[in-house]
Chains A and B, each alone.
Chain A
């Protein structure tokens, strides 16, 4: 059972480039989330989804877009990468008010 799978694991971008991070879960969970983790800041919610076809903004949504076209996938897009978006990105899913299941993270560096 794979759980939550994030791709890619590592990525280096130049300022202004775009990219998409993919999150896939095989647990049939309704809720999916994208967080970013920065040193000393904990995890901050970027966007989330409460079901297929829905998305909503979290605490730090600027510069990111998301889509949930299929229940199992939650995509995070960076339209024009900036050095401030250098971070570790975690995707998570849950069936409801229960502990989140996290992916292994994507380490993104923007130069």
Chain B
């Protein structure tokens, strides 16, 4: 059974600081996703990471994937208040049913 663990689950940070969210998963997978969810809203896709060493960047967010370590990171650079949200990583199961298993999410609060 695929397990996905995120840490930290809660992150409070000041504007302008850097931080990293970690996502570990238990079995081999060939793609990993990062999503953002604002309070009371749906989930928005941020990144898809397809191979070992993949790195994607969008604005102040950068995601990377190490398939050998079964680890993905979401790095936040010089945080701003608008980044406050819950961030989920999700890993696709093997086979052709394309099931996504989600981590429990990291609630990020950026304080002025």
- Tell me the count of chain B residues lying within 8 A, CB to CB, of chain A: 23
Size range of the chain A interface in the assembly: 20 to 34
Provide the bound-state CA to CA distance between A59 and B98, in Å. 14
Binds A, one of B42-50, B53-61, B66-74: B42-50
Chain B residues near A41 (CB, 8 Å)?
Answer: 104
**Interchain residue pairs with CB less than 8 A apart (14):** A31-B98, A42-B4, A42-B102, A42-B103, A42-B104, A42-B105, A43-B90, A45-B100, A56-B97, A58-B99, A90-B43, A94-B98, A100-B45, A103-B42
B25, CB-defined interface residue at 8 Å:
no
Q: A40-B104, A104-B42 are in contact. List 19 more A-B contacts (CB 8 A).
A: A31-B98, A33-B100, A35-B102, A40-B9, A42-B4, A42-B103, A42-B104, A42-B105, A43-B90, A45-B99, A45-B100, A50-B98, A56-B97, A58-B99, A96-B98, A99-B48, A100-B45, A102-B43, A104-B41
**A residues near B, CB below 8 A?**
31, 33, 35, 40-45, 48, 50, 56, 58-59, 90, 94, 96-100, 102-105
CB neighbours (8 Å) of A59 from chain B are 101
Q: Which residues of B contact A58 (CB under 8 A)?
A: 99
Residues facing A in B70-112 (CB within 8 A) are 88, 90, 92, 96-105
Question: Across the interface, do A99 and B45 meet the contact criterion of CB distance under 8 Å?
Answer: yes
**Quick one: which of B31, B33, B100, B103 has the most chain A CB within 10 A?**
B100
Shortest CB distance A95–B (Å): 10
Question: In whole angstroms, what is the CA distance A104 to B40 when docked?
Answer: 9
A99: chain B residues within 8 A (beta carbon):
33, 35, 45, 48
- For A45, list chain B residues within 8 Å (CB): 99-101
* Cα distance, A99 to B31, chains bound together (Å): 10
Q: Name the CB-closest residue of B to A105.
A: B42
Check A43–B31 contact: CB distance below 8 A.
no
Docked-complex contact B103 and A48, CB < 8 angstroms:
no
Question: Do residues B100 and A100 form an inter-chain contact, with CB atoms below 8 A?
Answer: yes
B contact residues around A104 at 8 Å (CB): 41-42
A45-B100, A45-B101 known; A90+B42 contact, CB < 8 A: yes
